[in-house]
Structure 1
Amino acid sequence: MKNIINKAIAVLAISTVLVGCSNNDDEAITGTGKLVVEFDNAFGANDLILDTQANTTSQGEVLKISQIKYIISNIVLTKADGTTLTYPKNDSYFIVDEATDDSHEIELENIPAGDYTKIKFGIGVDKAQWELGATGQGDFLTQAQDAGMLWSWSAGYKFVAFEGTFTSSSVTTDTSFMVHTGQTGTDYNYTEVTLTLPSNALVRTTITPEIHVIADVSKIIDGTNKIKLSDNNMGGMGAMIMGGTQLPLITANLNGMFSVAHVHND
């Protein structure tokens, strides 16, 4: 009888611990928290340094980059159970500028607590948003103007602004280049990127995860599609790619520009 009673007490104790753990887990994933997405620009395997760093493409061209800016938009997060969270559209437009440290981290608020496995975002401003007209853009229109990320309202936003100087076997002195993506003719050139996280981002009321995204800017012209700046050299104006048949190829390259290095759950 004594053994039976002892076993019953042990089972009850284990059950109590398991229920307690379950309750604690449930409590840990309720409420809302924050999530930070950090964009760290690189050129190939090297951290990007503006103006002075010589960066060589697979086409043998050497670039010194003076500016890289891009618009991040329409963020969607996927949970471990497959459900998705679309960040509020009106709050989902950001400009990442290598020259402005504060722009490298995007803080997302009021994220339901949970374990997140994927992030999707747009590069540029989606056509539906642009079609709302100038008055439908809210504060972002002014932000884009101030950042030089608007050609004009009628021409639309610049989605990516990539600029600097280059040399090649045929262009032996530093020559300027400008690569801008955005709406051109019938091509809108907006694209979206989906990244699977190497470990879950654990959003909690007490934990703000940080997703560290590497943006390899070499991929803009040196991705799946190889674009030679020297082929676009316009003499005294330098190499300019802002439209034409190469811009959709560059837009396609942007899908391979981003990767997740790691996730901090601190």
Structure 2
Amino acid sequence: MTFQIKYIFAVMATALTLASCSNDNDTAASGRGKLEVEFDNVFGEANLILNGQENMTSQGETLTVSDVKYIISNIELTKEDGTVFVYPKSESYFIVSEANDVSHVLELANIPAGNYTRIKFGIGVDEAQYNLGETVQGDFFAAAQNEDMAWSWSAGYKHLLFEGTFTSSTVGTATPFMVHTGKSGANYNYTAVTLDFPEKALVRTNITPDVHIFADVAKIIDGSNKIKLTDNNMGGMGAMIMSGENLPLITTNLSDMFAVDHVHND
């Protein structure tokens, strides 16, 4: 009896394994499907909460974040066989705003079915696209203006907006800070991020994977490059970083701001 039970369990385990393998390596996968990319903003190990949560940096500064927004662009998806699907550029510009939950999930449609293992995307609007002119940008530039993610056309887009108040050992009163990346002098400050998936995203006509990405906003100023808001405090105006030598350093930090936490295939 014991042998029979063990045999039945073994057969069931084998069937489940084969079913899983069949689903994962479905050679008959064809057609097109959808994929969702979800951005979840955190500050270090804590979920980011706007207006009220105190966040400590390694530089001894305490930040209360009031607003975080960034432009995601130029999405590319890599299959397990190394082939790359480039999402249509005209549809590949999104504004993720912490204050707008709907904006956290990018819904990508018409993607060739397959097993995907990697994503690449830009932070900001790339210079080549910007150089095509305001007419080509059209609706997206208007949307960026509505979201306060663009200056005048000649000044270009804000690739990232990071705002709030801070205190430090020498700044005892809550003082405003504003960090905006974008075109500055000879630096365009656009960067691309490439992330591997911890498990395959199985795009099928009947499966829409969700790729869950954590964005650690602490790394904007507290990444491989350490930027102290105190050093940029302009008195009554607060700490304002929108140009100068810090912007390329912050742009470098953005490359390490994102990490894929998990993939849902259901």
- Pairwise same-fold verdict (TM > 0.5): yes
Correspondence for 2:63: 63
SS in 2 for 1:90: helix
Q: Are the aligned partners of 1:63 and 1:164 in contact in 2 as well (CA < 8 Å)?
A: yes
Alignment of 1:80-95 (within 5 A): 80-95=80-95
Matches of 2:244 and 2:141 in 1, distance apart? 25
Matches of 2:54 and 2:195 in 1, distance apart? 29
Give the aligned residue type for 1:70: Y
Q: State the shift of 1:136 in Å.
A: 0.8
Correspondence for 1:35: 35
Give the aligned residue type for 1:66: S
Q: State the shift of 1:139 in Å.
A: 1.3
Matches of 1:170 and 1:234 in 2, distance apart? 13
Matches of 1:89 and 1:256 in 2, distance apart? 24
Matches of 1:26 and 1:158 in 2, distance apart? 42
Identical positions, percent: 68
Matches of 1:164 and 1:95 in 2, distance apart? 19
Give the aligned residue type for 2:226: K
Deviation per CA, 1:17-70: give whole Å up to 9, x if none. Answer: x9xx98xx7574100000000000000000000010000000010000000000
Structure 1 gaps of 5+ residues are 1-17
Q: For the structure 1 residues 26 and 195, does the alpha-carbon distance in structure 2 shift closer, same or farther, using more than 3 Å as the test?
A: closer
Correspondence for 1:123: 123
Correspondence for 2:176: 176
Correspondence for 1:162: 162
Matches of 2:178 and 2:108 in 1, distance apart? 31
Give the aligned residue type for 1:150: A
Q: Are the aligned partners of 1:157 and 1:182 in contact in 2 as well (CA < 8 Å)?
A: yes
Alignment of 1:1-266 (within 5 A): 28-266=28-266
Matches of 1:29 and 1:83 in 2, distance apart? 15
Q: Are the aligned partners of 1:162 and 1:178 in contact in 2 as well (CA < 8 Å)?
A: yes
Give the aligned residue type for 2:62: V
SS in 2 for 1:199: strand
Matches of 1:45 and 1:207 in 2, distance apart? 31
Correspondence for 2:8: none
SS in 1 for 2:138: coil
Q: Are the aligned partners of 1:126 and 1:190 in contact in 2 as well (CA < 8 Å)?
A: yes
Matches of 2:58 and 2:27 in 1, distance apart? 52
Matches of 2:164 and 2:183 in 1, distance apart? 22
SS in 2 for 1:252: helix
Matches of 1:225 and 1:239 in 2, distance apart? 17
Q: State the shift of 1:254 in Å.
A: 0.2
What TM-score results when the alignment is normalised by the length of structure 1? Answer: 0.90
Give the aligned residue type for 2:146: D
Matches of 1:173 and 1:50 in 2, distance apart? 19
What TM-score results when the alignment is normalised by the length of structure 2? Answer: 0.90
Q: State the shift of 1:73 in Å.
A: 0.1
Give the aligned residue type for 1:74: N
Q: Are the aligned partners of 1:50 and 1:64 in contact in 2 as well (CA < 8 Å)?
A: yes
From the CA coordinates, give the structure whose radius of gyration is larger. Answer: 1
Q: Are the aligned partners of 1:28 and 1:204 in contact in 2 as well (CA < 8 Å)?
A: no
Matches of 1:155 and 1:184 in 2, distance apart? 8
Correspondence for 1:8: none
Q: State the shift of 1:138 in Å.
A: 2.8
The aligned length equals 247
Deviation per CA, 1:163-207: give whole Å up to 9, x if none. Answer: 000000010000000000000010000000000000000000000
Matches of 1:42 and 1:161 in 2, distance apart? 15
Structure 2 gaps of 5+ residues are 1-17
